[in-house]
Amino acid sequence: LVVAANSWMNSPTGFDFADGKYTNIDPIQAMFNDAWFSQSLHMTLAAFAATGFAVAGIHALMILRKKNVAFHTGAFRIAAVFGIVAALLQPLSGDLSAKEVAIRQPAKLAAMEAHFHTEKPASLIIGGIPDEKTKTVNYAIRLPGMLSFLAHGDFESEVIGLDQIPEDQHPPVLVTHLAFQTMVGIGSLLVLMAIVYIIAVVKKKSWFNRRWFLKMFAIATPLGFIAVEAGWTVTEVGRQPWIIYGVMKTADAVTPMPGIVYSFYLYTAIYISLALIVAFILIRQIMMVNRLYDLPEKQPPHA
């Protein structure tokens, strides 16, 4: 439901607007809007990848500490499979999402890629720090024609830049671009880790007992969730100044109702409390493995 609501904010449909009134409201069409499938697919895979690698990383850390190695080895492999499958599929869903954004929200794509000037063909920028005053990107690597291909499937196609978007409708480029680069960079790293894991399964089973292999997964524990947060930053900041794209600006949606800020504080406190409770329960669960499961005394050798 959260993703459906967000996709509607990016691609509003299910209503007609005439003479200052909204009519013919269709909740089903609004929920299953044009952006719903690509965003839901991308977020679902991101959730599996983030959770899979996080759980695998925690179990890898416990193996490194030589605590209940037999249990944590099995749990590590189960979690890793979920994370790896999702990570390998994620670039495909990301490509689908990017192509749809290029059509429906060209300003967002331009901000994501720090694409200030319309080009045909358009270069893909890797890294770099955008300067919104000079409309340039410093310290970037450029791949000629690649943005055209990623956006439209053609190396020679034109990609609209921010120069064709009214100035008052430009998203914050620096934040959007850096968040997008963070998401893609972490996603690429997780794909590389997935490939390494597959090599270990097929040809190098001894890697499962190597410290560098387990450390790699342990270090990657938070990366998936960082990528998820970066992705949400892209979709929200990249949509600005609109809260409902092309329909209502964020500034117009701000309510003057006094005291509403306290409900924000309340919900923030609730979510922080839930996060702390869940973290406590998970840590306690891991520490109680010996009492919860009948584990063999002998543990497999581990380098």
Q: Does residue 177 carry a pLDDT above 50? A: yes
Q: Is the full-model pTM beyond 0.95?
A: no
Strands annotated E in 146-299: 242-244, 248-249
Confirm if 33 and 18 have CB atoms less than 8 A apart. Answer: no
Q: Is the dihedral of CA 283, 285, 291, 297 positive or negative?
A: negative
Q: Does residue 290 carry a pLDDT above 70? A: no
Q: Does residue 277 carry a pLDDT above 50? A: yes
Averaged over 39-52, what is the pLDDT?
93
Averaged over 39-64, what is the pLDDT?
92
Q: Locate 71 and state its tokens.
A: 């249990």
Q: Does residue 303 carry a pLDDT above 50? A: no
Q: Return the pLDDT at 222.
A: 93
Confidence band for 293, pLDDT divided at 50, 70 and 90: low
Give residue-wise pLDDT tens across range 7-38. 989 888 888 888 778 888 888 888 888 888 99
Q: Where is 257: in which H helix or E strand?
A: none
